[in-house]
Amino acid sequence: MCKMQNDRLKVAITGGIGSGKSYVCQLLHEEGIEVYDCDAAAKRLMATDDEVKRRLTEVIGEDTYIDGVLNKAAVAKFLLASEQNKLLVNSIVHPAVARDFLDSGMTWLESAILFDCGFQKYVDRVVCVTAPLETRIRRVMQRDDIDRQRTKEWIAKQMDQEQVRKLADFEIINDGRHSLKKQVNAILKSIYA
């Protein structure tokens, strides 16, 4: 993985939906580490960044924003219409998020689609949070109040957990049996040794 311009190591937390990335980020926060949330940043930039808003309006249409507020229904309809549309939106939003992260001064980021969007090039180390498939399905169903079939469809749309694990430098197993705190502390010790 690449070294950044400054000497501060940059680290990414990734993993599929329901793996427990957010909880791991909460543990990092307790250790005094602020983690940049790529998903929240994308939503914020789509709502506030003038350049992103202009470009999204160009590709999606005039109904992308209503009275300056993102029209989520119009965006969702556009995204679901084709893979090409999704790639178009990503080509606008992902670079904006990358710039925002690099400008933020933060050294840790959380991204479910780290490898899909090429964000691994902005970090020095990758930590993958994994969990058994049934555990992930149960968590997502409870969290988002959706049925099993829809949950499985969401999981299937993401990069395979095993593939992500192989690309990562570290793994945190979130199966309810392994201590997350111990795993987080061991990784921090290894990264900052």
pLDDT tens series, the chain, 193 aa = 333 333 489 999 999 999 999 999 999 999 999 999 999 999 999 999 999 999 999 999 999 999 999 999 999 999 989 999 999 999 999 999 999 999 999 999 999 999 999 999 999 999 999 999 999 999 999 998 999 998 998 898 889 999 999 999 999 999 999 999 999 999 999 998 7
pTM above 0.75, yes or no: yes
| Among candidate residues 157, 141, 110, the one with its CA nearest the CA of residue 15 | 110
DSSP-derived 3-state class of residue 171: strand
Q: Is 179 exposed, middle or buried (0-12, 13-18, 19+ CB in 10 A)?
A: exposed
Per-residue tokens: 118? 């090429």
Q: Which residues contact residue 13 at a Cβ distance below 8 angstroms, ignoring those fewer than 6 apart?
A: 21, 24, 25, 28, 35, 108, 109, 110, 111, 127, 129
Q: Which residues contact residue 96 at a Cβ distance below 8 angstroms, ignoring those fewer than 6 apart?
A: 42, 45, 49, 51, 52
Residues 66-111: tens digit of each pLDDT: 999 999 999 999 998 999 999 999 999 999 999 999 999 999 999 9
Encode burial over 58-95: b for 16+ CB neighbours within 10 A, e otherwise: eebeeebbeeeebbeebbeebbeeeeebeebbbebbbe
